[in-house]
């Protein structure tokens, strides 16, 4: 399991398939700030709320120079269903092997109803134009998180 990222760290490079199976790399966004968020599963209530919040605020974020990428362990086909059903406009990437999720320390031990298990830790990493971590937020809540990011970034 990777150490949690800290501001100033170089964001781990990645290339993953999007909902349509096209490869998307972090380096494609060089020169722009990127909000990379990790969520456990498409088409679940909390993850839907979070993805819809990012979509609803995408224009505001893009206007401030931010691209938004959501990453989950789902297959591209499920991401396409999620995108189409919820009319999502954020880029959704598939990480079924969880290699990128692990490299961002967004996979690890979780507790739910007294049980401990391994899973995706809902996390948001803000990467600056140079590919360095600006902010690393772990164990975030699905609801209200986007509003908090916008406030914290001063947008």
Burial class (CB in 10 A: 0-12, 13-18, 19+), 50: buried
Q: Is the dihedral of CA 145, 33, 68, 37 positive or negative?
A: negative
Listed residue (92, 112, 118, 114) closest to 39, CA to CA:
92
Distance, in Å, from the CA atom of 101 to the CA atom of 124, rounded to the nearest integer, reads 11
Catalytic residue among 24, 36, 47, 127: 47
Distance, in Å, from the CA atom of 56 to the CA atom of 4, rounded to the nearest integer, reads 28
Distance, in Å, from the CA atom of 52 to the CA atom of 146, rounded to the nearest integer, reads 10
Active site residue 47: yes
**CA distances from residue 49 to 24, 41, 44, 81, 127 in whole angstroms, order as listed:** 24, 12, 9, 15, 23
Report the catalytic residues. Answer: 47
């Amino acid at each position: 399991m990777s150490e949690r990222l800290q501001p100033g760290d170089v964001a781990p490079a990645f290339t993953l398939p999007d909902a349509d199976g096209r490869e998307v790399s972090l380096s494609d966004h060089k020169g722009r700030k990127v909000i990379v968020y990790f969520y456990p599963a498409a088409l679940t209530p909390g993850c839907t709320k979070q993805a819809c919040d990012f979509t609803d605020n995408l224009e505001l974020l893009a206007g401030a120079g931010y691209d938004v990428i959501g990453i989950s362990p789902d297959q591209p086909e499920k991401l396409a269903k999620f995108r189409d059903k919820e009319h999502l406009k954020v880029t959704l990437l598939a990480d079924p092997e969880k290699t990128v999720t692990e490299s961002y320390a967004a996979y690890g031990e979780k507790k739910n109803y007294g049980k401990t298990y391994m899973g995706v830790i809902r996390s948001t990493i803000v990467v600056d134009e140079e590919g360095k971590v600006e902010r690393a937020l772990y164990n975030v809540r699905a609801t209200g998180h986007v509003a908090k990011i916008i406030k914290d970034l001063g947008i």
